[in-house]
Amino acid sequence: MPTSQEYIDPPTPMGANLVADGATFRVWAPAARAVYVITDELTASRSPGWAPKEKDLLVRQPDGTWTGFVRGLADGGAYRFWVVGEGSRGFKRDPYARELGTDPAFPDCDCLVRDPRSYPWHDRGFRSPPFNELIVYQFHFGVFYAVDREGRDARRGRRGRFLDLLERIEYLRDLGVNAIQPLPIQEFPSQFSLGYNGTDYFSPEMDYQVEEDRELQRYLGTANRLLGEHGQPPLALADLRPGPNQLKAVVDLCHLNGIAVIFDAVYNHAGGGFDDQSMYFMDRRPWRSNDDSLYFTDRGWAGGLVFAYWNDWVRQLLIDNARFLIEEYHVDGLRYDEVSVIDNHGGWFCCQDLTGTVRYVKPQAIQIAEYWNDARWLAVQPPRAGLGFDAALSDRLRDGIRDAIRQAAYGRDASINLDAVRDGLYRPYGFPAAWCAVQCIENHDLVYADRPAHEWRPRVAALADPSNPRSWYARSRARVAAGLLLTAPGVPQLFMGQEFLEDKNWSDNPKRWGETLIWWDGLARDRAMRDHLACTRDLIRLRRTEPALSSESINAFHAHNENRVIAFHRWVENVGADIVVVASLNESTLWDYRLGFPRPGFWREVFNSDYYDNLPNPQVAGNGGGVVADGGPMHGLPCSAAVAIPANGVVVFAV
């Protein structure tokens, strides 16, 4: 007799889900001849001659799914599907599996039933920042940070894990960022990865998990110390044993420290190669083309296959995954990878359904699109007119700043185009608000060490002075780049190490870690790195305390390419709170440089990048605490002032 249909009804969720005294199963395999769920015979199934039993046979439903109920299964119970198709027969992993086991190893691993309520959350009072106030920090779990019991850098011997981030939460909090954006965390089939070749969308990467209790004890101590600082009850070791709970603990503790979490969702393709037990050809049809692979088309992208967005069940998988991350992991937003590819392959309505569902489930969760099609604004227009994302990556300011820094590196007589920086400060065409543009000058793609030579781009410090990324030229120009990014309209995003002048391009490849890991020890050994970290920290603090810097208003009233000076005015509409930002890539200090100001009177100098060179710089080229705007109209503004602008410097004035 096939499996029981107790607890099975039309709303039964996909995958394995615990109920009162067992678990329900539902899997989509419309062309399969039979689908079994194997639970108590997983060990026996590895013996020659094994065959599935009728008691494990799921029941086919009219919609092409197969369902069943298995009594007695509990949290941590193992299972796999055995699929009999026209083309082949064999095991398949559940596309909705919440966790994959490690013994046997991937790809022959079991799926694990997990209770989504097993982690005791502490973040009930957390509210993510308003979208316009976000300051995002992007990083890769596998290479970001890992130390041994003695506090020594352990990354050359092993990859970083989810729980390693616990040791950096206070650092990120003190830096001032209020959101983190890890590269994709879903299970990927390779030994190392950026994360964009995932195949098991609901399971966190197994290699980022800690299995041994002895190791877990150390992380448990860190977690409970952080919880105790916020008056929260401690975790037990059992709370951290499930791999998913380790990632949940990271989200939980970020929230307690005022940091939102944005996950990177890859819905434009899956895989970079598929094993036989993956969701590729899930119902085991005969292979004729990749169009028969159920979830995918024959169109490739980034080494994998593009999803079949025209199919309701495929769209449902992606929407279910987004909802799963929001609901079960408490994430505060999603960054959607290469939405252009989804749109270009028939996924327009899929994007609208996706963004609409997430907005319904959690309106305060930001949805960020990577969308590089010509009509960039379509990503951030509401459905019907557009795809419905809240924000999208922007490259105008990024390219303008990086080009200006690169041009400055050719010397004092080189031409610099500050017009492009000025233009990049304004809201992109068709974007409904300035904050809808996510701005950066470094990211995981741009400064990836393993890019093809013609696409290779250096870190800002190396861009600023290719001959010596620790020279005064590199240090000062990098401060200008940071100052422009963190005072510009939009949502600023930093990439790991950028905040302390890391000059090496990064890689996920262990063979290159000796030359690509960010240098945490430099904060103790390298004064330039400490100084730049202090500069970045103070710029972030300025952005968070001056409301004009997260407002919509911008007037870039001065861009002088010969003098290498750009100046702009930020303010809060109908309030004031005026800010004037002045940046120079001139290699000489400019004294008594006259600029327009939006109102007369005394303007405080609230930031001067020259202060951070050999901090505290005893010979700062500054304005003695402020300037008085008592001159006549200039640059379209009602008054003016003579200011001192340090060489390769940024100064910020506030009323």
Are 226 and 166 a contacting pair, CB within 8 Å? yes
* Helices 472-487 & 396-408 angle (0-180, nearest 10): 160
Residue 273 pLDDT? 84
Residues of the chain with pLDDT under 50: none
Are 240 and 246 a contacting pair, CB within 8 Å? yes
Residue 461 pLDDT? 98
Are 24 and 74 a contacting pair, CB within 8 Å? no
CA of 220: how far to CAs of 117, 225, 251, 554, in Å?
A: 19, 8, 15, 47
Three-state SS at 319: helix
Tell me, what DSSP letter sits at residue 397?
H
Are 450 and 619 a contacting pair, CB within 8 Å? no
What residues contact 166, with CB distance under 8 A and at least 6 apart? 219, 222, 223, 226, 249, 250, 253
Cα of first residue to Cα of last residue in the chain, in angstroms, is 80
* Residue 286: burial class (beta carbons within 10 Å; 0-12, 13-18, 19+): exposed
Are 136 and 491 a contacting pair, CB within 8 Å? yes
Cis geometry, peptide bond prior to residue 234 (ω within 30 degrees of 0): no
Dist. CA 455–CA 99, nearest whole Å: 36
Domains of the chain: 15-112 (2.60.40.10)
Residue type, 224: N
Count of alpha carbons within 13 angstroms of residue 353, beta-carbon side: 19
The reply to whether 592 belongs to the active site is no
Are 102 and 208 a contacting pair, CB within 8 Å? no
Dist. CA 648–CA 586, nearest whole Å: 6
The reply to whether 94 belongs to the active site is no
Three-state SS at 208: helix
Count of alpha carbons within 13 angstroms of residue 148, beta-carbon side: 8
Q: Are strands 391-393 and 437-439 parallel, antiparallel or unpaired?
A: parallel
Q: Give the torsion sign (CA, 193, 195, 198, 200).
A: positive
What residues contact 366, with CB distance under 8 A and at least 6 apart? 128, 131, 134, 262, 332, 333, 334, 390, 391
Tell me, what DSSP letter sits at residue 332?
S
What residues contact 547, with CB distance under 8 A and at least 6 apart? 572, 575, 577
* Catalytic residue (choose from 370, 546, 578, 605): 370
Q: Are strands 601-608 and 649-654 parallel, antiparallel or unpaired?
A: antiparallel
Dist. CA 220–CA 216, nearest whole Å: 6
Residue 51 pLDDT? 95
Residue ranges with strand state E in 168-259: 179-182, 186-187, 200-204
Residue 247 pLDDT? 99
- Beta partners for residue 567, in sequence order: 558, 582
Dist. CA 79–CA 94, nearest whole Å: 9
Dist. CA 200–CA 45, nearest whole Å: 22
Q: How many CB atoms lie within 10 A of CB 552?
A: 15
Residue 93 pLDDT? 98
Residue 190 pLDDT? 78
Dist. CA 201–CA 187, nearest whole Å: 7
Residue 272 pLDDT? 86
Identify the CA nearest to 357 among candidates 390, 384, 329, 319.
319
Cβ density class 510-525: b for 16+ within 10 Å, e for less: bebbeebbbbbebeee
* Catalytic residue (choose from 164, 264, 337, 610): 337
Number of helices (H) and strands (E), helices first, in the chain? 15, 29
Residue 192 pLDDT? 86
Three-state SS at 292: helix
Are 178 and 260 a contacting pair, CB within 8 Å? yes
Q: Are strands 15-19 and 590-597 parallel, antiparallel or unpaired?
A: unpaired
Three-state SS at 98: coil
Dist. CA 275–CA 95, nearest whole Å: 13
For residue 209, give both structure tokens: 């998990």
Q: Give the torsion sign (CA, 212, 217, 218, 220).
A: positive
Which helix (DSSP H) or strand (DSSP E) does residue 593 occupy?
strand 590-597
Residue type, 390: D
Residue type, 120: P
Count of alpha carbons within 13 angstroms of residue 358, beta-carbon side: 31
Predicted model pTM: 0.97
Dist. CA 314–CA 298, nearest whole Å: 15
Dist. CA 317–CA 336, nearest whole Å: 15
Residue 1 pLDDT? 83
Q: Are strands 366-369 and 59-60 parallel, antiparallel or unpaired?
A: unpaired
Dist. CA 588–CA 582, nearest whole Å: 15
Cβ density class 330-360: b for 16+ within 10 Å, e for less: bbbbbbbbbbbbbbebebbebbbbbbebbbe
